[in-house]
Amino acid sequence: MKTLNTISQTKQFLLEAKKEGKSIGFVPTMGALHEGHLTLMRRAKKENDLLAVSVFVNPIQFNNPEDLKKYPRDLEKDKQLLKSVGCDVVFAPTVDEMYPEEKVTEHFDFGKLETVMEGAFRPGHFNGVAVVVKRLFNIITPDKAYFGEKDFQQLAIIKQLVKMENMPLEIVPCAIVRESDGLAMSSRNERLTPDERALAPFIHQTLQQAVRLKTEKSPLEIVQWVTDKFKEQPAFTLEYFELADAVFLQPVKRWEKAKGTIGFVAAFLGDVRLIDNIRFY
């Protein structure tokens, strides 16, 4: 496994691979790898000749400086895990390598996709994601890039980015990977105290219970029901629970069966912000 820190070395390495006719599967990450990431990587390795992974904590997608400071980082541990899934090349640039300019001015317009949920609560977040993902795609030139559905809105934004920029690659969505107690895997879970970790499965359990009520309640009633459930659990501060269609991510008042309906949640447990989602239709 090769670890490269510069854009030019990485481009060179991947150009050689392309000349040999190899296909490139890419998994972009911010490190602190867990089984969720490794699942994407195993799939990418199986479906392509070469697996490329980036490890870069992207400062411009953090709207909260404290969150950026506390984001877990351990490249040596990540490299061991990357070796275990047969990663061929790790791109681990510095912030200066990715952002040589003084201020990033590139701006994308994702319309309504970015005005709801994560976009509303984390101003600038998706622009930061889009800037880094576009740069990473240009460096890695993957045939396929793999993203987890836990960040469902991010996935929608990236699909839109690829469309707007006419990028010649396939975005492969991958199902949420959960711990045995249902908690969606996330690098942020590392920051939960043991007590908080024990409470965390409440999120998925509540979403599952809500899905069971979908035939007897309207979307509005379900939103109220989930909101009330969270109020009964003082350890959590619910930021939002929304039912939205699965394509444009706009709130639904009636069950949207054609496009699909998904329930999205973001909640603080202590000072850790967790997100999750579940399909209703």
Q: Contact positions toward ligand PAF, by CB under 6 A? A: 28-30, 58, 61, 129, 132-133, 151, 154
- Least distance from ligand PAF to the Cβ atom of residue 216, Å: 36
Choose between 74 and 214: whose C-beta lies nearer to ligand PAF.
74
- Least distance from ligand PAF to the Cβ atom of residue 20, Å: 27
Choose between 82 and 243: whose C-beta lies nearer to ligand PAF.
82
Catalytic residue among 34, 37, 125, 204: 37
Cα→Cα distances 56→93, 99, 149, Å: 6, 12, 20
- Least distance from ligand PAF to the Cβ atom of residue 202, Å: 23
Cα→Cα distances 236→178, 182, 203, 266, Å: 20, 17, 9, 10
- Least distance from ligand PAF to the Cβ atom of residue 29, Å: 5
User: What is the distance between the alpha carbons of residues 113 and 129, in angstroms, rounded to a whole number?
Assistant: 14
125 is catalytic: no
User: What is the distance between the alpha carbons of residues 172 and 3, in angstroms, rounded to a whole number?
Assistant: 24
Choose between 55 and 203: whose C-beta lies nearer to ligand PAF.
55
Say how many C-beta atoms besides its own lie within 10 A of residue 66's C-beta: 9
Q: At what angle do helices 152-164 and 125-140 cross, to 10 degrees?
A: 60
Choose between 31 and 219: whose C-beta lies nearer to ligand PAF.
31
- Least distance from ligand PAF to the Cβ atom of residue 279, Å: 20
User: What is the distance between the alpha carbons of residues 48 and 250, in angstroms, rounded to a whole number?
Assistant: 34
User: What is the distance between the alpha carbons of residues 181 and 208, in angstroms, rounded to a whole number?
Assistant: 12
Identify the helix (H) or strand (E) that includes residue 27. Answer: strand 24-29
Looking at residue 270, the DSSP 8-state letter turns out to be: T
Choose between 210 and 249: whose C-beta lies nearer to ligand PAF.
249
Which residues are catalytically annotated? 37
